[in-house]
Each structure stands twice: as C-alpha cells, then as structure tokens.
Amino acid sequence: MSITLEEKQNVVIKFAGDSGDGMQLVGTQFTNNTASVGYDLGTFPDFPAEIRAPQGTIPGVSGFQIHFGSTEIYTPGDSCDVLVAMNAAALKSNLHHVNKGGILILNTAGFDLRNLKLSGYDINPLDDGHLTAYVVYKIDITKLTREALLDIEMGVKEKDRSKNMFVLGFIYWLYNRDPASTIQFIESKFKNKNDVREANIKALKAGFNYGDITEAFSSRFKVKPAKMVPGTYRSITGNPALALGLVAAAQKTGLQLFYGTYPITPASDVLHELAKFKNFGVKTFQAEDEIAAVCMAIGAAFGGNLGITGTSGPGLALKAEAIGLAVMLELPLVILNVQRAGPSTGLPTKTEQSDLLQAVYGRNGESPLPVIAASTPSSCFDVAFKAVKIAVEHMTPVLVLTDGYIANGAEPWKFPKSASLDDIDVNILKSKEGDEKFMPYLRDENQVRKWAAPGVKGLEHRIGGLEKEDITGNVSYDPENHQKMVKIREEKIDKIADFIPEQEIDSGKDSGKVLVLGWGSTYGSIKSAVIELINEGYEVSHAQVTYIKPFPKNLGPLMGRFDCILIPEINNGQLIKLIRDKYLIDAIGFHKIKGTPITKNELKDKILKVYPKA
C-alpha cells in the first residue's frame, strides 16, 4: 500500500493522558525537535489542577498542545488538528477542541470498562459512532509497547512507562521527522540506567516503525520550515528565560546575583534554573517561607549585591510588607511574580493575570514601584534584564509580572550576544567622596540616591522602615517631611518614564477604528486576531504594554487617535481600571477568567462586536 506525503502549512497537536502517562515529556521532546528543524511554534502545557487526582478521571488529565508551522506562530492554537488520547478521560475532556475531520490517535487499552466508568462514558465512544466526524486511529499502544520490550527484564508497570515514547515515535513518523534528537536525550538522561534507556529507545523506534508496517495509514504529513530572521535559535520557556535575563544582567553590572525564594507553582523553575549557574557566581537560597526569602534578598541588596526574589500571587501577598521596606530603604530589588489563578491558593496550575492591581497597589501606605510585564516566553529575558537595569539605576524595587502560560509555554528564541545588551550603570559607593558628611538620601535630578556599601568608613547611615528625614535619612515623625518624602518617592518612579521606550503599535496603523491594548500573555491571541482582521479590511491595530508603572509617556496621545479602545485580560478587569483612571478614556474590557488563555476566535468576535458602525 502506497503512502502519500501531504504538505501542511501549520498543525496543532494535543497530547493528553493521565498525569503519569508522560505527556509533558512527550510534548517537550516534540517541541525541542520541532524547534531544531526550524519551524515557528507555540505551546501550552495544561497541567491537572489536583496533584494526585485519581487515575482515569477527567481531573487527572494532563495535556500538552503545540502549534507549529511554516508561517509565523503566535498562539498554541484555538483548536486541534490531532489529538493523542491515552485514555477515555483524555478523549472526553479534549474532544470539543478537535477540528471536524481532525485525527484522533486513541490508546484502546485506555478504553476498558474501568476507564469508561471513571470518565463518565456510559457507552464506549470507539464503538457507538460517536467519532464519525473524525479520522480515528485505534491503536493498542499499551500492548504494542509491551510486545516491543519482551526481551527486556522489567516489570509490566515499568514497561508501561515507556508507552509515551511509542506515541512520540509514531507522531515523528506521521510528521516525517527524524527521532534522533530524542534518542540522544534518552541516552543522556538514562546513561546510568541501562534497562530504562534501552526500553525507552526501543519503544520510540517501535512507534516510529509501526506506521510503516501497518496498512491502516494512507498518509503522512510534511510541514516546511518557517522563514525566520537568520540567526541562531533555541527553544525557550518563560521561567528559564527569566533566569537567563537575570544572569546576563548580573554579568553586565559586575554584581553577584543572590536569589532568595520559597517554592511555589508556577515560579519554582526559576530557582531550579538559576541553581545551574554557580559558575557565574550565582547564589540561590531556598528559604523557610516567603517572608524570609524576600528579606534575604533585601539584605543582599543592602550588602551591595543584586538581590532577587520570586514567587506567585499568594507569595507576593506575604512579601508585601518587606517589599514596602525595600521601597522605604530605596534599595535595588527585583521581585518576580509568575501569576496563577486565585484568590488564596486558587488554581495553582492554571493561568491568570489577576495580580496586576496587587503589583501596583498591594502594599500598605504609599509604596510606589515600577511594574513591567513580559508578554511571551522569550520576552521574559528582556524584561528580567530591563528590571535589573531600572532597579540599579533608579535605586528602587521593581516588580516583574509573567504568568503560568508564559512560564511553561515555549517558542523559538533568537538569543542575543552579550555585546548587544545595554550597559547598566552601577552607582555604588565603596569609599567616601570628599570631606563633607555623607548624606544617604541626597538625590540627583531624578530623585535617585546613592547606593552605599556597608562597612565603609565614612558611609555610616541609618537603615530601617521608619520614615526618614529628607537628605539625612534620620528618623522623622514630622508631618511635613512625611508628605514631602511620599511625593519624592512617587516622583522618582514617575521620572522613570523618561528612561523607557515610547509605546509602539505592534500591528496595524497608528490611528483607526479600534486599538486592542494588551499586556502580558494576551499578546499572541491579540496579534493573531488583529492581523486576520487587518487582512479582512478592518481598521484595527494592536499595542502591547510592557511598562505599566509608569506608563510610556506617549500612551495617552496614542490611544487618543482611535475611536475605540478594547482591553482583553485574563482577569475581571484590572489594566482597564488603571487606563480609565489615568487617561479618563472609556475603554471597553474583555475578560476571561477560566484558567485558560483567551483564544484568537473569541477575541475576533469581541472586536467585531465593538467595531464602530459606519
């Protein structure tokens, strides 16, 4: 039987199964292979909300979606062309996202009576005509994996752990890929575990060969590499990009990086990544709690180091008082907040943008600090680097916002060379200047004070959270001084607007009917929707705000050139409050609070609803 090779422009694949089925590993390996071939891509790992949900149940389904192609990719895709479902629950929870005529690759071993009951199916969907709208490949992946590993002395349970590699091998075959990169990964990861290494490689090859030896498949698919700007690329996810940006900034400043943190989903990987950079003088510390972590980072900053701390929303709440202390001390500190759905413990594995108002206002008293937001996984590098530059050059804590979608999503990244990165001016005093008494809160024209290294004769000064007298830093309870200091600290942050880029239009013209104003992880959905509408003849533009406190100086005039401002957010409306308050613009909000990103089609529908009638 001859097999035709069909060419596709782009494809969306969703791998889904129990949290123990290794779908995240399969997705990550397919992503790395995809990036190495030269495709553009976007991914969305979808973790179960429960740590140990019962196997076979819908709450226990773990998924990984990848969108790749020969065109520019901005999202992981609204719907799937291919769904790999390792059991009935994975099919039931994801079938509504599969395009009609799409491919279903189903592990028949996961559709026994037990799995059907756990997933809520009364009748087996493989037999009742439920799937006639799709191209269905029924494969007993569990049985075939066991048969491929007959000569390996392992228990059945251990062999079954390799069935994810069988799936990956088959998908490599279906999309005309070379599995060599995954074989290399397995050999490296399990170099000291011969039986595990051999089992995974055999299962991978068995899955790859299955397509050739089975007559059930009439087509394979090929996607041409994307036309991208020439350069060296790597696949990157948001949390590692944050870590690399911090390390690069530390090297530019010549300061030692100290990262004090407490583990919290989805921010923990920043710690794991930074711990790999001891050769760059990076020091990491896992504290006993969130408060200790931020206080250690403040202590590091006081000592003349690059103090960094990271967390998610609940941890940011615990750090609030100490961050206020850093504001009062006017020390450089970078706080990372990888947002998740709240309130309280909320939905730790689901994405949300609901900490923006907490970031801007969430401290007692008047505690202003800069807030900047990443919008894609690769932009996390730039935002982390810029945060350090602002913190050090303006002597202030800086809060960086990402979220679970950005943290775990992947894309190709054309990484910069060190020489192309901005210089960072470190103005730290290591000796006394002149004969006059040192005044720790004597300021320059931008209201920035000096950074005095402790332990240096002549640089002695008071430190603490009590209000300070202007210039001297002595404790002061004078009401006039307090008002003056509050105004000075706010003015210092406002002046940062003179040192950040002006707001640019990302897609479309600089005036028109509708401006879609986004921040954070809404970037890909907005860009995709706006580009499609522009191609359909609509006067729509897109701007993505990185600097939220302070806003770029030209943001107000820019918005004034559009008839309608639409602000999509994965929250109940937070940026829109800041925009309305500062610019008195009657912006329109579009809010999704389901723990999942806004899709391109959802946004297109909203834009068309608010589009001014002729």
Start-end of H helices in 453-522: 479-495
Strand partners, 540: 514
Q: What does each C-alpha distance from 241 to 36, 314, 400 come to in angstroms?
A: 18, 23, 13
Collapsed DSSP state (helix, strand, coil) of residue 261: strand
Query: ∠98-100-101 over CA atoms, to 5°?
Result: 110
Start-end of H helices in 412-541: 479-495, 523-535
| Domains observed in the chain | 4-223 (3.40.920.10), 234-420 (3.40.50.970), 512-610 (3.40.50.920)
**Six token digits for residue 265:** 């989903």
pLDDT at 613 over 90: no
Lowest average pLDDT, out of 79-83, 226-230, 301-305, 381-385, goes to: 226-230
Q: What does each C-alpha distance from 384 to 46, 402, 506 come to in angstroms?
A: 25, 10, 21
**What's the chain's average pLDDT?**
95
Q: Let me know: does 608 contact 561? Beta carbons within 8 Å.
A: no
Lowest average pLDDT, out of 1-5, 198-202, 240-244, 457-461, goes to: 1-5
Which has the higher per-residue pLDDT, 227 or 83? 83
Residue recorded with tokens 């995809």: 34
What span, in angstroms and rounded, lies between the C-alpha atoms of 85 and 62? 10
pLDDT at 51 over 90: no
**Six token digits for residue 341:** 């759905």
Q: What is the mean pLDDT of residues 296-325?
A: 97
The proportion of the chain whose per-residue pLDDT surpasses 70, expressed as a percent, equals 100
Q: What does each C-alpha distance from 435 to 77, 431, 439 come to in angstroms?
A: 65, 12, 12
What span, in angstroms and rounded, lies between the C-alpha atoms of 522 and 602? 12
Give the pLDDT confidence score for residue 226 in this predicted structure.
Answer: 85
* DSSP structure class, residue 537: T
How many CB atoms are closer than 10 A to CB 183?
17
**What are 241-297's pLDDT values in tens digits?**
999 999 999 999 999 999 999 999 999 999 999 999 999 999 999 999 999 999 999
What span, in angstroms and rounded, lies between the C-alpha atoms of 590 and 529? 14
What span, in angstroms and rounded, lies between the C-alpha atoms of 572 and 503? 24
How many CB atoms are closer than 10 A to CB 417?
7
Give the pLDDT confidence score for residue 1 in this predicted structure.
Answer: 54
Q: What does each C-alpha distance from 497 to 282, 455, 470, 555, 556 come to in angstroms?
A: 30, 34, 23, 11, 13
Give the pLDDT confidence score for residue 516 in this predicted structure.
Answer: 98
H/E stretch holding 209: helix 194-213
**What are 398-446's pLDDT values in tens digits?**
999 999 999 999 999 999 999 999 999 998 998 888 888 999 999 999 9
pLDDT classification of 225: cutoffs 50, 70, 90: confident
**Model pTM greater than 0.85?**
yes
What span, in angstroms and rounded, lies between the C-alpha atoms of 231 and 41? 16
* DSSP structure class, residue 347: B
Q: Let me know: does 567 contact 555? Beta carbons within 8 Å.
A: no
pLDDT classification of 610: cutoffs 50, 70, 90: very high
H/E stretch holding 310: strand 306-311
* DSSP structure class, residue 279: G
What span, in angstroms and rounded, lies between the C-alpha atoms of 565 and 588? 6
**What are 63-119's pLDDT values in tens digits?**
999 999 999 999 999 999 999 999 999 999 999 999 999 999 999 999 999 999 999
How many CB atoms are closer than 10 A to CB 34?
27
Q: What does each C-alpha distance from 204 to 107, 162, 168, 304, 526 come to in angstroms?
A: 16, 8, 7, 51, 38
pLDDT at 333 over 90: yes
What span, in angstroms and rounded, lies between the C-alpha atoms of 91 and 96? 9
Give the pLDDT confidence score for residue 4 in this predicted structure.
Answer: 83
Q: What is the mean pLDDT of residues 350-354?
A: 96
CA atoms within 13 A on the CB side of 6: 10
pLDDT at 53 over 90: no
pLDDT at 218 over 90: no
What span, in angstroms and rounded, lies between the C-alpha atoms of 371 and 391? 11
3-state helix, strand, coil in the chain (%, to 5): 40, 25, 40
Lowest average pLDDT, out of 332-336, 458-462, 491-495, 574-578, goes to: 458-462
